[in-house]
Amino acid sequence: MYHVKSKPKCVSCGKDVRGGELVYVELRYPEYAGMTEIKKWLDNEGKINCKECYSKQ
């Protein structure tokens, strides 16, 4: 069985986020130490907004 990695999406409009694109992420400061995989942390804990949706707020 293979794990299919889903691409990060904007929580407001559902647009796929591409590498190098400016995004805004809402997340809590981690309670634990040793955070090394930032992309995985953002996928699991963050709410990503694209620049356009963030500027509308």
- What confidence score (pLDDT) does residue 23 get? 96
> What residues make up the domain containing 7?
1-57
Size of the chain, expressed as the number of residues it contains: 57
pLDDT digits (tens, 9 = 90+) for 1-57: 555 567 899 999 999 999 999 999 999 887 777 766 888 888 888 999 999 999 998
pLDDT at position 30 is 78
Q: Residue 49: exposed, middle, or buried by beta-carbon count in 10 A (0-12, 13-18, 19+)? A: buried
Give pLDDT, residue 7: 86
pLDDT at position 39? 84
Q: How many domains does the chain have?
A: 1
